Structure 1
Amino acid sequence: MAAPGEDYRPAYPPKTKPHLSSGIPFPEACAHHITNTFKASRVYIIVSNSISKTENFTKLEKALVGKVAGVRKGIKPHTPWDDLVEIIQDIKEKNADSIVTLGGGSLTDGAKVITFALANDISTLDGLYKLTADAKTQNLKPITMPVINIPTSLSGGEYSAFAGATNTRNHHKASFSHPTMGADIIILDPALSTTTPRGIWLSTGIRGVDHCVEGLCSLQPTVTEETEKRFSKGLKLLAPNLLLTAKDWEAEEPRLQEHLGVVEAMGALGLGVPMGGSHGIGHQLGPLGVGHGETSCIMLPAVLKYNYLHGDEKVRRPQQKVLDILWGEETVAGVLKKRGLNKQTADAGDAVGAIISELGMPTTLKSVGVKREQLDALAVNCLKDRWLQTNAIPLTEKKQVLEILEMVVGDGNSSL
């Protein structure tokens, strides 16, 4: 049931999970659904370290006064298992009956794995492995604890039934999946996101662009008219509005459109379209300290370039869809022209790279602290990721991954 003045609807009808909430301040929406939708009374809040020091967190606590069983301030980037085990044990001790996250992608993925572990009575590092996709454990129990996500980035993880979390023993980012995984309600509040650091908001927006672009360029059999429609709509919402936000940071309408672009992108992703090399390599850059979104800023143009260079017409043709969408948006086309691109000669890697540069996001591994001597081990780890094999050109050999990494190493010593 919606609160007065709230826009409350399923994100992907006829599915009832997740619901989207917008139109009223996030503390009001959260308190309403904790009380009226979930009938919950012992809320466990997972809040980012930075937001925990702000008035936004204070407002949430006041809205939930008398119902907060516990608070966790911060989960480290890329969701390390050690952090998750600590939170799982704390939630069990405090007998919490619901979870609210206020923050970005690491918290969102964390809540998915935490609720999955709680449903299966797991609270150790060894136990978490049993929940990973690699373990292929049978008859895992469904998640029952309700979750509200209040995102402060555009990473989009709150819309999927997948999660990534880093095994701190081997630094491999493992995948978790279950049909019941994910938020019950996602609260979208553009005003809240104006306090998100510029680099995080814009780079995670490019993460959404990455979903759309790799989805549109996918050659997998799960691509359908519906997925192409959603990915196209998502790209049309994300690319121009990110550029508008970069120019006018306080404007709320572009931010809401960006949120809705992520909804479209993740809706298509949820229909089973696998991603490609940008996502697969990005997964393994995470444990090296590269933030959510920054991986897409660096890798997406390079992967597009690699695919175009080594691909046939079947591989190249989908990239034209991306170009048609980007040149068709007036705001985007203005930036592409400003950056010296020509509609007849620029490829998709050029166009996406120009947008990323205009936003001021990182474009090399060197700029995010990854050194040449780390590339060999990184390439080996990348080959373990399932999405390298579903790249438009399957990436099955280390030399292929290294060729892509060479494009973006940024140390001036590339052999290419």
Structure 2
Amino acid sequence: MAAQGESYYPVFPPATKLHISTGLSFPEACAHHITNTFHESKVYVIVSGSISKTDNFTRLQKALGDKIVGVRKGIKPHTPWDDIVDIVKDMEKKGVDLIITLGAGSLTDGAKIIKYALANNVSSLDDLARLASEAKTEGLKPPQLPVINIPTSLSGGEYSIIAGGTDTRNNHKVLFTHPDIGADIVILDPALSISTPERIWLSTGVRGIDHCVEGLCSLVKPGAERDEGFAKGLKLLVPSLLITKKDWKNEDARLKEMLGVVESMKGMSQGIPMGGSHGIGHQLGPLGVGHGETSCVMLPAILKYNFKYGDEKVRKPQQKVLDLLWAEETVAEVLKKRGLTEEGSDAGDVVGAIISELGMPRTLKDVGVGRNQLDALAENCLKDVWLKVNPVPLIRKEQVLEVLEMVVGDTKSNL
């Protein structure tokens, strides 16, 4: 039920129960839905460590009062399983009936895995392994606890029924999925996002671009309407991110970025797999690389690799990406300023120029990954299902190493 002044609507009707809330401050929207939509009274807040020290968290605490029965300040990057098990045990002791996340990335994925774990009596890492998408799922109960996400980045995990968590016994990032694993409400508040560090906000925006680009370029698609969300998302995200880079407090551009992420996730909700940028990115995560930063480094390289080794069927969707981007005046100005032309630039060039304009990292060296780590990284990447559905399937170690070599950051062969 919507509050006065609130826009409240389903994201993917009729497929899921997930709703978006805009138009109210996040504490006001949160308090309204806890009372009037869910009728719950034992709330557990998972808040990022940095936000927990700010007035934004204080505002949420004041709005919810004694309904908050527990607080977790931070989940480590890439959602370590140790953190998940600790939080599950704490929630069980407190009899929690609703979860709120205030933050993004690991917190969002963490809440998904936590609600699945709570439904299935998880108390150890071995128990958690039973829930992984790679494991047999017979006899598992569906997650039921309601979740409200209040995102402070553009990573888009709030709209997905997939979560990634790192098995701390072997440092391998594993996927979890279930039709009911996701959030129930996502509250979008552009004013809240102004406090997000620039590198996190813009890099996770590039993550949204990655969803759109790899979605548009995917060869595994269910129908002609498949590209609509990805195309809308790309047109909202890229110009708005370039505006935000210059005008940090522009809330209109920020809301468009948030809605661009929603559009990109509509495409992903159809089951369209991503490609090599996402697949390699999953395994860069445990090496300490942020979700968005993996896309900043890998997406241009994957586009160039696919264009080099792909046939016309692979190259044609990249042209659609180019057409969409060059048609946006704000984007075209940047590309021309950086010496690119419509006739002489491929999708890797154009996406790379946008990422550079945003001031984001472009090489593995930039994100703290050295040449001595490439061999083990390539081995882990081959375990990721999305490498196999890359437009040019990445099924051999030497292929992955060739892509990594393009962005290693210590040779002249880099992008």
Task: Spell out the pairing of 1:189-208 with structure 2 (5 A cutoff).
Answer: 189-208=189-208
Instruction: Give the share of equivalent positions with the same residue, in percent.
Output: 69
How far did 1:226 drift? 2.2
Superposition pairs of residues 104-253 of structure 1, within 5 angstroms: 104-220=104-220, 222-253=221-252
Three-state SS of the structure 1 residue aligned to 2:279 is helix
Residue 16 of structure 1 deviates from its aligned partner by 4.9
Name 1:283's counterpart in structure 2.
282
Q: d(CA) in 1 for partners of 2:124 and 2:35?
A: 32
In structure 2, the partner of 1:46 is: 46
Aligned to 1:410: 409
Displacement of 1:415 in angstroms is 9.5
**Partners of 2:79 and 2:290 in 1: how far apart?**
11
The one-letter amino acid of 2:119's match is A
Post-superposition Cα deviations, 1:4-24, rounded to whole Å, max 9, x if no partner, equal: 100011111224521000001
C-alpha distance in 2 between matches for 1:242 and 1:203: 10
For residues 160-194 of structure 1, give each alpha carbon's deviation from its aligned partner in whole angstroms, at most 9, with x where no partner exists: 11100000111110000001110000000000000
Matched, 1:384 2:383: yes
Distance 2:410 2:51 in 1: 35
Deviations 1:203-230 (A, max 9, x none): 000000000000000111x342222011
Q: Quick check: 8-17 or 289-298, which moved more?
A: 8-17
Secondary structure in structure 1 of the residue aligned to 2:79: coil
Pair 1:81 & 2:60 matched: no
Distance 1:323 1:392 in 2: 17
Contact 2:25 2:189 in 1 (8 A): yes
Aligned equivalents of 2:64, 2:130: Cα separation in 1: 35
Q: What's the TM-score, normalizing by structure 1? A: 0.98
> 2:293–2:360: 8 Å Cα contact kept in structure 1?
yes
Deviations 1:352-391 (A, max 9, x none): 0000000000000001110001000000000000000010
What one-letter code is carried by the residue in structure 2 that aligns with 1:140?
Answer: L
Asked whether the equivalents of residues 407 and 414 of structure 2 are also in contact (C-alpha less than 8 Å), the reply is no
The amino acid that maps onto 1:131 is L
1:217-253 deviations in Å (ceiling 9; x for gaps):
0111x34222201110010010110001111000000
Q: CA 1:119–1:91 in structure 2 vs 1: closer, same or farther (change >3 Å)?
A: same
CA distance in 1, matches of 2:16, 2:286: 34
Give CA deviations for 1:307-343 in whole Å, capped at 9, x if unaligned: 0011111110110000000000010011000110010
Aligned partner of 1:345 in structure 2 is 344
Q: Distance in 2 between matches of 1:389 and 1:12?
A: 27
> What secondary structure is seen at the aligned counterpart in 1 of 2:130?
helix
1:302 aligned residue: 301
Q: Per the alignment, in what secondary structure is the counterpart of residue 44 of structure 2?
A: strand
Please give the per-residue CA displacement for 1:96-132, whole angstroms capped at 9, x wherever unaligned.
1100000011100000000000011112100010000
Tell me what 2:24 maps to. Answer: 24
Separation (CA, whole Å) in 1 of partners of 2:283 and 2:225: 30
Q: Give the CA deviation at 1:345.
A: 1.0
Q: How many pairs does the alignment contain?
A: 415
- Does the residue aligned with 1:186 lie in a helix, a strand or coil? strand
Equivalence for 1:362: 361
**Gap change, CA 1:403 and 1:110, over 3 Å in 2:** same
CA distance in 2, matches of 1:356, 1:28: 35
Distance (Å, rounded) in 1 between the aligned partners of 2:283 and 2:104: 19
Q: Within the alignment, does 1:62 sit opposite 2:62 as a pair?
A: yes
2:323 is the counterpart of 1:324: yes
Maintained 8 Å contact 1:227/1:269: no
What SS does structure 2 have at the residue aligned with 1:409?
coil
**Could you tell me which amino acid in structure 1 is paired with residue 212 of structure 2?**
C
Question: What amino acid is aligned across from residue 166 of structure 2 in structure 1?
Answer: T
Separation (CA, whole Å) in 2 of partners of 1:120 and 1:224:
36
Q: Is the 8 A contact 2:200 2:292 kept in 1?
A: yes
Structure 2 length-normalised TM: 0.99
> Partners in 1 of 2:342 and 2:135 — Cα distance?
48
Distance (whole Å) between structure 1 residues aligned to residue 61 and residue 107 of structure 2: 17
Amino acid at match of 1:227: R
1:49 match: secondary structure: coil
Q: Is the 8 A contact 1:226 1:268 kept in 2?
A: no
Q: Is the contact made by 1:206 and 1:296 (CA closer than 8 Å) also made in structure 2? A: yes
Return the alpha-carbon distance in structure 1 between the equivalents of residues 223 and 327 of structure 2. Answer: 22
Q: Report 1:1-20 matches (<5 A).
A: 1-20=1-20
Mark the runs of 5 or more structure 2 residues left unpaired by the alignment: none
Give the RMSD, CA atoms, in angstroms.
Answer: 1.1
Counterpart residue type for residue 63 of structure 1 = A
